[in-house]
Every structure is written in C-alpha cells, then in structure tokens.
Structure 1
Amino acid sequence: MAKILVADDETDLEMLIKQKFRKQIREQKYEFVFAVNGNDALNKISEHPDIDMVLSDINMPEMDGLTLLGKLNETSPLIKAVIVSAYGDMENIRMAMNLGAFDFLTKPLNFEDLELTMAKTMAHVLQMRETLKAIRENNILRMYVDESVLQFMNQRNFENSITVNETIEATVVFIDICGFTMITENEPADIVVKMLNTYFDVIVKEIIDQKGHVDKFIGDAVMAVFRGDFHLDRAIETSLNVRRKIELLKSSEHHGITFMPKVSIGLHTGEVISGNIGSASLRRLDYTVIGDVANTASRLKGVAEDGQIIIAESSYEKVKESFNCRMLHEVVLKNKARPVTIYEVLD
C-alpha cells in the first residue's frame, strides 16, 4: 500500500481526493495523509515515517511548497514530491524541478492523469528502495563473506558450481575467550553480547591485518583460516598479536567478580578441503574448510590453558627458527592413533 501525503491549504481538496480514490482507499491500494501547509507536512512526515510520496501545492501559508521541496531533499531524500498547483508557468515548473520535484501537475486536476502520475512516482520510489536494499545487502555480505567467495558468486555458472570444492594448503586457527561462560551465565544478554563483540573486534582486526579469513564464530570462539605464502607464520603472528591485544583490555567487574579477558589458541597446518558445505536444496551453505587439520586445530585449542598458544610438533619443526617455542608434553587427541607432542608459542 502506498502512503501519500497531500499538502494543500484548500481543505476541500481532502474531501475531493477521498471521494475520487475511495475504491483504492477501500482496497488499501492508497492511504492518504493531509496537511494544510509545509510546516504541517513536515510534522506529518515525522509522525508517518513510512510516507512514500508527497502531493504539494505551491502557495500555502507559513511554508510554501517550494520551501517544502527543499526541506524534503535535506531530511527525506527517498520521498518523491509531485507539485500540484494552479500556477503552471515555466518559471514555477523550473524552480520545482530544480528543487527535486518528480513531476508537476496543474489545477484543476485531471484525476486520471493524477493517478497515472502517482503510479509512475510510486514505481520510481520502489525501484530506488530496491536498489538501496541491494546495496545494503551487498555491503552486509562483504562484512561477513570472504572476497574470494564474492568473486565466486559473481561467476555466471554460480548456480551450477555451488558445490565445487578444492584441496589447499592452509593453517587453521581456533581462538577462544577463556572463562566467558561465567559471563553468559550471570549477566544480561545485552552485556554479554557487547563484551563478546568487543573481544571479537580485536581478534578480527588482527586476523585481517595478517590477510587471514574469519571462517566462522562458534559461541565465544573464532575460527580463522590462513592461506597463501607463509600462512603458518602469519597465523602465529596473528595469535601472538591477539593474545597481546586482548590482555591489554581493561578488566570488567560483574557481581563482585573481576573478569580478566584472556584467550586460549590452537592452530594446525596442512592440507584442508575448502568448499561450500551444507545443503544446496535448503540454500544453507558455509564456505569453509574441513578435514584433519581443522579438527586438530580445534582439539589443540581444547588443551590450551589461559593465555597459551599451542601447536603440534609438525608445526613446530616448520617455525622453530622463526618463533620462540617450548615443548610441553604429549597429549592424546581424539581420533589420533598416537599421542601428539605439543609446543607452546612464547612471546
């Protein structure tokens, strides 16, 4: 239903419009709001933010139609205005168009012409809103989806190739906020979400700075993937920076308990399967990585204590000349036939 504001100091116009458009009003095709001048029109727009278009006279007391046009451009650029005036000279038409009027009609009104003009104006308004919606959705998509995925989606054969996958060399990192369950169990939802988003912002910035990709958020943990040159080194650099930045954050007091933010981190490197995992028929897919490397990284995170960055011996052998590490002990990881020797990455 289109909501239309009519601004005119001729009060009989309200009755005339209600009579001429009674069928459309009854069928809820149109809803009309009426104002007697420009000031009144602006007040009505504040009361009815879902107004789609304005039909406005030029000569009105307090605020004329041309001034109203200027105000609409400043405050409500998505509302399109059609000038309806007895003064149809070229000067008024040009002034109205220069101020952003969508069209110009002269009195006495031809109501068939008016309805055609309203339909044309509404089509333009809807097109603008669809365009803005698409832009917003695209910007939101870019916030959550890796650029390579967007390029993949732009391929002409996207629908046919949505389940394509590949095997790549990568490093998977799991970063967990230690002890955050205590906060979720004792604090209101808005405090929990605000705190968690603050920590995630710090973590994500460091991942992006090292050209990593945030794969997903899992509760109070982040899964990140690094690929390309020196992906293991960049993943460890990220982990060190995340630990440092998180520990610089201020502590929080909650019900007499002081919460000091810390992270526990596990990472592993090797071959992973990368692709759209999920249900194509349901159109619920995650562009993610799976395989032993991702599973091992998750389990290494599970054995990491507060503030620890844990890697397996296979990763240590690749970075021992670049990073200061110390051997800890052997651990038994799920689905691993043999115990795994783990190392802690130090500053």
Structure 2
Amino acid sequence: MSTTLLFVDDEPDLEALVLQKFRRRIRDGEVTIIFARDGLEALAALEQHPQVDMVVSDINMPRMDGLSLLTKLQEAEDKKSTIIVSAYGDMSNIRTAMNRGAFDFLTKPIDFADLEATIGKTIRHIEMLREVRRRQMEAERAHAALSRHFSPELAKRLAASGEGEGIEVQWRDVATIFTDITGFTSLVETAPPEALGKLLNEYVGGMTEIVFAHEGTVAKIIGDAIQVLFNAPGDQPDYATRAVACAHALDAWAQEFRARQRATGITFGATRIGIHAGPALVGNFGGNRYFDYTAYGDSINIAARLEAANKHLGTRICVSASVAEAAENFQGRPVGELMLRGRSEPLRAFEPLPPEKYQAPETALYAEAFAKMAAGDAAAMPAFAALVGMHADDSLAGFHLRRLLNGAKGIRMQLE
C-alpha cells in the first residue's frame, strides 16, 4: 500500500532534495509526496488530500509555525503521525513538540539517511495502526451483524473471539419458537405506512428484548413473524425449559401490547406461538458477505406448523411432546394427536399454561373430559359441553366439543 507524505518547510531547496532522495520509491508507487511552505498551506493541503499518512514539518515557518500546526493536527479527528524537524540546539521546542504528540523528531541539517530511517519507522507504525483499525472495524461489523440475532453479551463475546463471521453450519438439537400475528395482512392493507412502521418496530423490538432476556437467538424476522432458537449457537442443556418460559413471556407481553393498541383504537391481532424441539441444520447461511444465522430442517417446519395450528385450536401457544417432556416441571394440558400438513405420523401436542391457570379447577375438568375422549367414552361430549357452559372463553374445549358434535372420535385430528 502506498504511503502519502506531506513535507512542510519554507526552505526552497528542500523539495528538490526530497524528490531526488525518494525518486525510486516515488517511481515504484511506494510513496507519494506533497509539499507545503507553512502551517496554513499544510492545513489546506490536508483538506485537499485527506489520504495523507504522515507529516514532516519544520518548526520555524512564516504565518503558522510547526508547533501551532502540530496542535491543529492533534485536535483533528483523523490525527496524522508527525515528525518534527528543528535545529540541533533547539531542544526546548523539540520537547514541546513531543509533548504535543509528535511521533518523532529530526535535527537540521537533515541527514537524509536518518530521514529515510525515521520515515520507515513511522510507516511501520502507521501500518500497525491501520491493521488495528481494520480489526476494530471488522469486530464492529461482526458485532452489528451478531446483534440482530444474539443477546448483547453473547454478540459481544462472539465478535471479540472472532467467531462472529464464521459460525459453522452443523446439526444441533434445538428448540424452535415461531410467532405470528393474526390478521396482520388486513392491518398492512388499512394502516398508514408510517403508523404501521412504528407499530411493527415497537412490537418486534419488545419481542426481541424478551427473547434476549431468556438468552434465545433470533434466527429470522419476516414482517410480523419471528423465529427463535434455543441451544444455538452455544449449549443450553435446559433449552426446552427456556423455550417454554420464553413463550409465556412473549405471550404475556404481546397480549399487553395488543391491549394498549386497542385503547388507542388500533385493532392488533393476537400473537400465535408454536414450539418444537429436535435436530436442525444450524449456522451462518449468508456466505462471506452477509451474516445470516438461521436453521433448517423438519423440526423447524414442525414448529411453524404448530404455530399455524393455534388458528384451528383457538389456542395462542402450542408445543410438541418433545418440548413438553423435556421441559422441567412442564405445566399444560393435552391438545391431542395432530396430523399436520406434510406429515404422515401424528404429533402429540400440548397447550402450556401459566401456573395460575394450570392450578384452576377448570384445568382438572378439561383433563377429565380429554381422558374420556381419548378412551372413546361417549361421556366426553357432555363433559366438554359442561366445561364450555361454565367457561365460554375456553377455546380449546370449544374446539373439541365441535369436533365431537360433528361426529369425530378420539384425540387424533387432521389440521389443514
């Protein structure tokens, strides 16, 4: 890489001597040299040539001397490495220059071998600074990319360790959360763009903060939909427990957000959440130029199908048996065996419940009615009818009652 030098000196013969001394390096493109005759002319040259790497300046010059120029250079945001040149006996000014930030000094008359050695040393210093700045910029870019996916502390660790731009694609057991908003398409078609943008940014921002608080990874945000991973990129032995706790927190926040919007006259749909645990191909799929940490595989698709199943079931959260069985002290109620689109085998699903709802009497009544339905007992229909009569807002109980009324039997059900 070429180095650009700015010589600042009012001696008329200096320019020719410098050009003669550095002619080979100038010819080979290693060095570009600019000249100025005082501090003011030097500042003007720096404005025209911001690529200047190094300044070699005399002290005694008209209009603006070298010490005043050095002060200006040190005040600038892009500080230039500066070599000060002065008479041998002028050690007082040389000390002042060094105290003001000069990188090195030379004495007059200039020994050109000494000048070349000092410039070489300064160039090596500049190259070292360039490398430090390059690494810092890479770390900042990595941190910016990682911050879209990972909690602040994890993003900082990955960026600092150099792992941020190359997390390897690998098979991992993960818990995947999918979230979506009901009726969002209608909101897009009716809301003013500026209002929709503000609304969606607040929603996604709030949901993301909750994910990061549970140390989850945001794999994708597509409009109103969010995909979250646990046990990636780092190991989280309790990933199923974390996923369920995160889903409850997301549900509570989304419901509160929805109520706030309703109070202002905005109809904001409910957030549906699906969770499944299983193996997935996880890593950076963005290539060399774009960081895209995400996951692919059948288990990811199942989580998305469970999110969509909420629409039919009347629930807001639906999790697979792999999550319910792995989560510590899971509290919830069975949904049934779902025949999801694209799958030939049924999937047992559950609705996780917060403690206060799980301990409520109607949960025990639901469990009794569900057990009757699983056994093919005709008493299941009146049991669900009684439950819906007491709790008309129990959408899942209402779903099963409608199934039974339409002639369905058992707990296996086809969802489109």
TM-score (norm 2): 0.60
* Residue aligning to 1:223: 227
Q: Which residue of 1 aligns with 2:32?
A: 31
Whichever structure has more helix as a proportion of its residues is 2
Residues 1:76 and 1:22: Cα distance change in structure 2 (over 3 Å) = farther
Corresponding residue for residue 114 of structure 1: 115
Between the aligned residues of both structures, percent identity stands at: 31
Q: 1:151 to 1:110 in 2, by over 3 A?
A: closer
> Which position in structure 2 is the counterpart of 1:235?
246
Partners of 2:254 and 2:346 lie apart in 1 by 30
Q: Matched residue of 1:173: which SS?
A: strand
CA shift for structure 1 position 89: 3.0
AA paired with 2:304?
Answer: S
Partner of 2:175: 171
Q: Deviations over 1:292-339 (max 9, x none)?
A: 43221223345667xx844246467999x9889997996733335337
- Is the 2:335–2:348 Cα contact (8 Å) retained in structure 1? no
Question: Helix, strand or coil: the match of 1:101?
Answer: coil
User: Taking structure 1 as reference, are residues 33 and 293 closer, same or farther at Cα in structure 2, changes over 3 Å only?
Assistant: same
C-alpha contact 1:54 1:81 (8 A) present in aligned 2: yes
Structure 2 residue 206 is matched with structure 1 residue 205: no
Counterpart selection for 2:303 from 286, 297, 319: 297
- 1:267 corresponding residue in structure 2: 274
User: Take 1:302 and 1:12, find their aligned partners in 2: how far apart are those partners?
Assistant: 82
- Letter of the 2:342 counterpart: K
Opposite residue 242 of structure 2, the aligned amino acid is: H
Question: What is the rounded CA distance, in whole Å, between the counterparts of 2:300 and 2:44 in structure 1?
Answer: 58
Provide Cα deviations, 1:230-259, integer angstroms capped at 9, x if missing partner. 3133321442366358659999xxxxxxx9
What runs of 5+ residues in structure 1 fail to find an aligned partner?
Answer: 252-258
- Distance (whole Å) between structure 1 residues aligned to residue 46 and residue 200 of structure 2: 38
Deviation at 1:16, TM superposition (A): 3.6
Q: What letter is aligned with 1:92?
A: N
Distance change (3 Å), C-alpha of 1:215 and 1:313: closer
> Which consecutive residues of structure 2, in runs of 5 or more, have no partner in the other structure?
231-235, 358-416
Q: CA deviation at 1:125?
A: 0.9
For 1:82, the aligned partner's letter is: I
Residue 284 (structure 1) shift:
9.4
How far apart are 1:116 and its partner, in Å? 2.4
Higher relative contact order (CA 8 A, sep 6+): 1
Note the C-alpha offset of 1:113. Answer: 2.5
Residue 341 of structure 2 is aligned to residue 337 of structure 1:
no
CA RMSD between the two structures: 4.9
Q: If each structure's strand is expressed as a fraction of its own residues, which one has the higher value?
A: 1
Can you list the C-alpha shifts for 1:48-70, whole angstroms capped at 9, x where unaligned? 32221111111223332222223
Instruction: Indicate if the aligned counterparts of 1:171 and 1:235 stay in contact, CA closer than 8 A.
Output: no
Residues 27-75 of structure 1 deviation map (CA, whole Å, 9 limit, x = unaligned): 3222223333333333332333222111111122333222222332231
Structure 1 or 2, whichever has the larger Rg, is: 2
State the 1:127 CA deviation: 0.7
Query: Contact between 2:98 and 2:104, CA under 8 Å: does it hold in 1?
Result: yes
1:328·1:342 contact (CA, 8 Å) conserved in 2?
yes
Native 8 Å contact 1:55 1:81 kept in 2: yes
- The alignment partner of 1:10 has SS state of coil
Alignment coverage as a number of residue pairs: 327
